[in-house]
Chain A
Amino acid sequence: MKKKKIASLSVRGFNRPVNFVFNIVIALFAISCVLPFLFVLAISLTKESALQQFGYSFWPREWSFYAYTFLFDQMKDKMLQSLFVTVLVTVLGTAINSTATSLYAYAISRNNFPFRRFFTIFCLITMLFSPGMIANYLVMTNLLQLKDTIWALILPMAVSPFNIIVMRTFFKRSVPDSIIESARIDGASELRIFTQIVLPLAVPGIATISLFAALGYWNDWFNALLYISNDKLIPLQYLLMKVQNNLQFLIQNAGAGSQIAGGLAALPGESARMAIVIISTLPIAISYPFFQRYFVKGLTIGGVKE
């Protein structure tokens, strides 16, 4: 009697035909998530004249790298400036965010800290509602006088109360009290305990909240919209916003002595705008799959009550 080979002994799972159908459904959705990005990429690589004549299309009717070379030659200064601002804000902001958040979370995770309850509630209240756009604007511009400075881009997102709670749960789980206690008995100061014992254990958690913070900073355009009018402080996403309707903004004050051959009409308007989109999004689009598991971990930890 021939033995039938069993592929797998899975208890869960659809039967074959249903599985196939759902695979198609999910696959279509997954493709729809990636398609627009590829679409914009294709537009950026299409010759401008073809775009004017035929409109956008998924596959370039005529290939051309002109949008990118144009940006590189003529608009390099402005784009590099924006890139610089975005990177600086992201790096500084993420550093400040993860430091402040971790320190606060560690403090309130310690059971013997008599002010633990106060600080925890102090933090929880901030998650209940938002003071409002106007109030924050007033404090920033009127009270702190930070309008049009780089701090206006960094400070609003410098601390995230939700992440504090996540980190607190994380500290409580991954750093047993006994280790801390024995270190204290051995005479270590709080700071030393934190840096030498707790921090190494907390690296995954810190990595996670840093990623969330970095993502927030990189994609932020709202703070620039509210506070920035100085050309030198325009982050990438806000630059994208400004050139959305036409390339005019980018062209003003373009690099010294740049003469665009053929005048305004020769500008690769459509393709160049899409090219800027690609340039600003490529770092994230390429790197996020590698950080995916940290995001998943961060989300699931935050969702579990302690």
Chain B
Amino acid sequence: MIKFDAVSKRYPGGHEALNNINFHLDKGEIAFLTGHSGAGKSTLLKLIMLMEKASTGQVFVNNQNLNRLSKRQLPYFRRNIGLVFQDHQLLFDRSVFENVALPLQIAGYDSREAARRVRAALDKVGLLKKENLNPIALSGGEQQRVGIARAVVNKPDLLLADEPTGNLDPQLSAEIMALFEEFNRVGVSMLIASHDLSLIAKLQHRILTLDHGRMIQGADEKAASELS
């Protein structure tokens, strides 16, 4: 699903965010991406979303080499990836329903089919009764669940989450993670960036650890041996 091949990312000004990253994530696999803050977790996710381009090396998503993706193709590429943010990035000028419907609207679904899918997604995150509220009226955990509903409403092949539980208490965090596992069980590949090590440890999934831009745990072995 995702493959990083000798990927480095250097920002203008010389800061090296990622250094020779090699790993791959299989279809239907779930993995956590962890590391101290500034280790490069967000940069790695941004490379997958093509919010940033790799300085060297190649990133593949769904066997598509992102270096070869044209600007025109970019929006269509992104429609296959669900993205969950720490600050959920909801729009407060519209209802919960309309927030979740946004990806479908963009993809050009007719409104009846869109409504059906939005309600299915909201039902899954347990917010069906709040579809007409403005997200600002919801609690932090509920807002995050709206964000998740928006990320999965389009039935993406891949779900990325950047510190999805960063602002939540342990109880809510566990609920969110359970939700992710549920999606993973029906085949969605998943990469979740989090520094909440105690939570991750409980869940017993593959862990990728970044340290100062290097992947010190979970990297491809062949590549890792080449390194040493």
Binding partners A and B = no
